[in-house]
Amino acid sequence: MRDFHKFIDGFKNFRRYYYDAEVDYYAALRDGQHPRALVIACSDSRADPALVMGCDPGDIFVVRNVANLVPHASEAGRGDAVLAVLEYGIRHLKVEHIIVLGHSCCGGIHALMHPEATPPDSHVAHWVAIARPALDRLNDTDELDAAAHRRNCEEAAVLLSVENLLSYPWIQRRVAEHRLSLHAWYFDMEIGDLLAYFPDTECFESLHEHGLHRDISGLGPYLRRLAEDG
Protein backbone atom coordinates (compact mmCIF):
# COMPACT_ATOMS: atom_id res chain seq x y z
CA MET A 1 0.00 0.00 0.00
CA ARG A 2 2.96 2.31 0.53
CA ASP A 3 3.49 2.43 -3.24
CA PHE A 4 -0.10 3.42 -3.82
CA HIS A 5 0.20 6.28 -1.35
CA LYS A 6 3.27 7.37 -3.29
CA PHE A 7 1.18 7.43 -6.47
CA ILE A 8 -1.54 9.48 -4.83
CA ASP A 9 0.97 11.94 -3.37
CA GLY A 10 2.60 12.09 -6.78
CA PHE A 11 -0.68 13.10 -8.37
CA LYS A 12 -1.14 15.81 -5.76
CA ASN A 13 2.28 17.19 -6.66
CA PHE A 14 1.45 16.98 -10.36
CA ARG A 15 -1.80 18.86 -9.79
CA ARG A 16 -0.10 21.55 -7.72
CA TYR A 17 3.12 22.11 -9.64
CA TYR A 18 2.04 21.28 -13.20
CA TYR A 19 -1.69 21.26 -13.87
CA ASP A 20 -2.73 24.18 -11.67
CA ALA A 21 0.47 26.09 -12.47
CA GLU A 22 -0.05 25.73 -16.25
CA VAL A 23 -3.79 26.24 -16.57
CA ASP A 24 -3.66 27.76 -20.06
CA TYR A 25 -1.33 25.05 -21.34
CA TYR A 26 -3.61 22.24 -20.21
CA ALA A 27 -6.66 24.08 -21.49
CA ALA A 28 -5.05 24.10 -24.93
CA LEU A 29 -4.35 20.36 -24.68
CA ARG A 30 -8.04 19.71 -24.15
CA ASP A 31 -8.68 21.03 -27.65
CA GLY A 32 -6.48 18.33 -29.20
CA GLN A 33 -2.98 16.92 -29.42
CA HIS A 34 -0.34 17.74 -31.99
CA PRO A 35 2.76 15.66 -31.19
CA ARG A 36 5.54 15.80 -33.79
CA ALA A 37 7.04 12.46 -32.79
CA LEU A 38 5.79 8.93 -32.20
CA VAL A 39 7.94 6.84 -29.86
CA ILE A 40 8.04 3.04 -29.78
CA ALA A 41 9.54 2.24 -26.39
CA CYS A 42 9.93 -0.69 -24.03
CA SER A 43 7.46 -1.35 -21.21
CA ASP A 44 10.39 -1.53 -18.79
CA SER A 45 9.60 0.58 -15.73
CA ARG A 46 13.13 2.01 -15.74
CA ALA A 47 13.03 3.44 -19.26
CA ASP A 48 10.14 5.90 -19.44
CA PRO A 49 10.61 7.79 -22.74
CA ALA A 50 8.91 10.96 -21.52
CA LEU A 51 11.22 11.11 -18.51
CA VAL A 52 14.38 10.18 -20.45
CA MET A 53 13.66 12.76 -23.14
CA GLY A 54 12.35 15.50 -20.82
CA CYS A 55 8.99 15.75 -22.58
CA ASP A 56 5.99 17.87 -21.69
CA PRO A 57 2.44 16.54 -22.07
CA GLY A 58 1.53 16.61 -25.74
CA ASP A 59 5.12 16.26 -27.03
CA ILE A 60 5.15 12.57 -27.97
CA PHE A 61 2.65 9.90 -28.98
CA VAL A 62 3.81 6.65 -27.38
CA VAL A 63 3.37 2.91 -27.61
CA ARG A 64 5.28 0.69 -25.18
CA ASN A 65 5.73 -3.05 -25.36
CA VAL A 66 8.22 -5.70 -24.29
CA ALA A 67 11.55 -4.93 -26.04
CA ASN A 68 10.16 -2.01 -28.11
CA LEU A 69 9.32 -4.23 -31.08
CA VAL A 70 7.45 -3.66 -34.32
CA PRO A 71 6.08 -6.77 -36.03
CA HIS A 72 6.77 -7.25 -39.73
CA ALA A 73 3.73 -6.72 -41.93
CA SER A 74 3.74 -10.42 -42.79
CA GLU A 75 3.47 -11.36 -39.09
CA ALA A 76 1.17 -8.66 -37.74
CA GLY A 77 -2.14 -9.88 -36.38
CA ARG A 78 -5.53 -8.24 -36.15
CA GLY A 79 -6.00 -5.99 -33.15
CA ASP A 80 -2.28 -5.29 -32.79
CA ALA A 81 -1.76 -2.35 -30.42
CA VAL A 82 1.49 -1.27 -32.08
CA LEU A 83 -0.20 -0.98 -35.47
CA ALA A 84 -3.15 0.88 -33.98
CA VAL A 85 -0.80 3.49 -32.52
CA LEU A 86 1.20 3.74 -35.76
CA GLU A 87 -1.93 4.17 -37.82
CA TYR A 88 -3.42 6.82 -35.54
CA GLY A 89 -0.15 8.68 -35.10
CA ILE A 90 0.77 8.73 -38.78
CA ARG A 91 -2.57 9.02 -40.53
CA HIS A 92 -4.49 11.16 -38.05
CA LEU A 93 -1.94 13.06 -35.96
CA LYS A 94 0.47 13.47 -38.89
CA VAL A 95 3.59 12.86 -36.81
CA GLU A 96 6.81 13.77 -38.59
CA HIS A 97 9.17 11.44 -36.73
CA ILE A 98 9.13 7.88 -35.41
CA ILE A 99 11.71 7.02 -32.76
CA VAL A 100 12.35 3.38 -31.86
CA LEU A 101 13.83 3.66 -28.38
CA GLY A 102 15.66 0.64 -27.02
CA HIS A 103 17.60 0.38 -23.77
CA SER A 104 20.26 -1.56 -21.92
CA CYS A 105 19.48 -4.42 -19.52
CA CYS A 106 16.33 -5.25 -21.49
CA GLY A 107 14.47 -8.21 -20.01
CA GLY A 108 12.69 -8.91 -23.28
CA ILE A 109 15.94 -9.28 -25.18
CA HIS A 110 17.26 -11.46 -22.35
CA ALA A 111 14.21 -13.71 -22.82
CA LEU A 112 14.90 -13.87 -26.55
CA MET A 113 18.52 -14.88 -25.97
CA HIS A 114 17.66 -17.42 -23.26
CA PRO A 115 14.50 -19.22 -24.41
CA GLU A 116 15.15 -22.03 -21.94
CA ALA A 117 14.17 -19.64 -19.14
CA THR A 118 10.75 -18.87 -20.65
CA PRO A 119 7.96 -21.41 -21.28
CA PRO A 120 7.56 -21.78 -25.06
CA ASP A 121 3.80 -21.23 -24.84
CA SER A 122 4.17 -17.92 -22.96
CA HIS A 123 3.04 -14.64 -24.44
CA VAL A 124 6.49 -13.19 -23.78
CA ALA A 125 8.25 -15.93 -25.76
CA HIS A 126 5.85 -15.51 -28.68
CA TRP A 127 6.23 -11.73 -28.70
CA VAL A 128 10.02 -11.47 -28.44
CA ALA A 129 10.34 -14.00 -31.28
CA ILE A 130 9.65 -10.99 -33.51
CA ALA A 131 13.28 -10.00 -32.85
CA ARG A 132 14.71 -13.42 -33.69
CA PRO A 133 16.19 -12.17 -37.01
CA ALA A 134 18.20 -9.60 -35.05
CA LEU A 135 19.70 -12.33 -32.87
CA ASP A 136 20.36 -14.59 -35.85
CA ARG A 137 22.42 -11.88 -37.52
CA LEU A 138 24.80 -11.87 -34.56
CA ASN A 139 25.23 -15.57 -33.87
CA ASP A 140 27.81 -16.30 -36.56
CA THR A 141 30.02 -13.29 -35.97
CA ASP A 142 29.68 -12.21 -32.37
CA GLU A 143 32.35 -13.71 -30.10
CA LEU A 144 32.09 -11.11 -27.33
CA ASP A 145 31.23 -11.73 -23.70
CA ALA A 146 27.63 -12.20 -22.61
CA ALA A 147 27.04 -8.54 -21.68
CA ALA A 148 28.44 -7.22 -24.95
CA HIS A 149 26.50 -9.83 -26.91
CA ARG A 150 23.25 -8.75 -25.24
CA ARG A 151 24.08 -5.09 -25.92
CA ASN A 152 24.61 -5.88 -29.60
CA CYS A 153 21.32 -7.76 -29.72
CA GLU A 154 19.46 -4.88 -28.05
CA GLU A 155 20.82 -2.47 -30.64
CA ALA A 156 20.15 -4.88 -33.51
CA ALA A 157 16.55 -5.28 -32.35
CA VAL A 158 16.07 -1.51 -32.53
CA LEU A 159 17.30 -1.50 -36.13
CA LEU A 160 15.12 -4.49 -36.96
CA SER A 161 12.05 -2.61 -35.72
CA VAL A 162 12.99 0.29 -38.01
CA GLU A 163 13.25 -2.15 -40.91
CA ASN A 164 9.90 -3.69 -40.02
CA LEU A 165 8.28 -0.26 -40.10
CA LEU A 166 9.17 -0.13 -43.77
CA SER A 167 7.32 -3.38 -44.45
CA TYR A 168 4.09 -1.34 -44.33
CA PRO A 169 3.58 0.42 -47.69
CA TRP A 170 1.74 3.36 -46.11
CA ILE A 171 4.75 4.04 -43.86
CA GLN A 172 7.31 3.41 -46.59
CA ARG A 173 5.50 5.85 -48.87
CA ARG A 174 5.62 8.66 -46.33
CA VAL A 175 9.31 8.05 -45.72
CA ALA A 176 10.01 8.11 -49.47
CA GLU A 177 8.07 11.39 -49.76
CA HIS A 178 10.15 12.91 -46.91
CA ARG A 179 7.04 13.40 -44.81
CA LEU A 180 8.23 11.00 -42.13
CA SER A 181 11.68 10.39 -40.61
CA LEU A 182 12.70 7.23 -38.76
CA HIS A 183 15.18 7.21 -35.87
CA ALA A 184 16.91 4.41 -33.94
CA TRP A 185 17.79 5.47 -30.37
CA TYR A 186 19.19 3.57 -27.40
CA PHE A 187 19.12 4.53 -23.71
CA ASP A 188 22.16 3.23 -21.84
CA MET A 189 20.97 3.01 -18.25
CA GLU A 190 24.35 1.91 -16.99
CA ILE A 191 26.07 5.19 -17.82
CA GLY A 192 23.02 7.44 -18.22
CA ASP A 193 23.45 8.24 -21.90
CA LEU A 194 21.15 8.46 -24.91
CA LEU A 195 22.55 7.19 -28.21
CA ALA A 196 21.40 7.29 -31.82
CA TYR A 197 22.35 5.15 -34.79
CA PHE A 198 24.37 7.16 -37.31
CA PRO A 199 24.41 5.62 -40.82
CA ASP A 200 27.77 7.17 -41.72
CA THR A 201 29.58 5.29 -38.94
CA GLU A 202 27.12 2.37 -38.80
CA CYS A 203 27.01 2.43 -35.02
CA PHE A 204 25.19 3.96 -32.08
CA GLU A 205 26.81 7.13 -30.74
CA SER A 206 26.05 9.49 -27.88
CA LEU A 207 23.55 12.22 -28.67
CA HIS A 208 24.81 14.12 -25.64
CA GLU A 209 28.37 14.23 -27.00
CA HIS A 210 27.78 14.26 -30.75
CA GLY A 211 24.16 15.21 -31.35
CA LEU A 212 24.76 18.95 -31.71
CA HIS A 213 27.39 18.38 -34.39
CA ARG A 214 25.78 15.59 -36.40
CA ASP A 215 22.79 15.16 -38.68
CA ILE A 216 20.08 13.54 -36.56
CA SER A 217 17.28 14.20 -39.06
CA GLY A 218 16.75 10.51 -39.68
CA LEU A 219 18.09 7.26 -41.10
CA GLY A 220 17.94 8.26 -44.75
CA PRO A 221 21.27 6.68 -45.88
CA TYR A 222 20.58 3.53 -43.86
CA LEU A 223 17.10 3.18 -45.34
CA ARG A 224 18.34 3.76 -48.87
CA ARG A 225 20.91 1.04 -48.35
CA LEU A 226 18.18 -1.31 -47.13
CA ALA A 227 16.18 -0.60 -50.27
CA GLU A 228 19.20 -1.32 -52.47
CA ASP A 229 19.99 -4.56 -50.64
CA GLY A 230 16.34 -5.65 -50.57
Question: Domain coordinates of the chain in residue numbers?
Answer: 1-31, 33-229
pLDDT at 79: 82
Would you give the DSSP letter of residue 18? I
Q: What gap in Å lies between CA 66 and CA 123, rounded to an integer?
A: 10
- Report, at the CATH architecture level, how domain 33-229 is classified: 3-Layer(aba) Sandwich (3.40)
Q: What gap in Å lies between CA 201 and CA 97, rounded to an integer?
A: 21
Q: What gap in Å lies between CA 75 and CA 84, rounded to an integer?
A: 15
pLDDT at 76: 86
| DSSP-H helix ranges across the chain | 2-14, 23-30, 49-52, 81-87, 107-113, 123-128, 132-139, 146-165, 169-176, 207-210, 220-229
- For 56-94, write each residue's pLDDT tens digit: 999 999 999 999 999 999 988 888 999 999 999 999 999
What percentage of the chain carries pLDDT values higher than 90? 76
Band of pLDDT at residue 217, cut at 50, 70 and 90: low
71 half-sphere exposure, CB direction, 13 A CA radius: 18
Strands 60-65 and 97-103, by their bridges, are unpaired
Mean pLDDT of the chain: 90
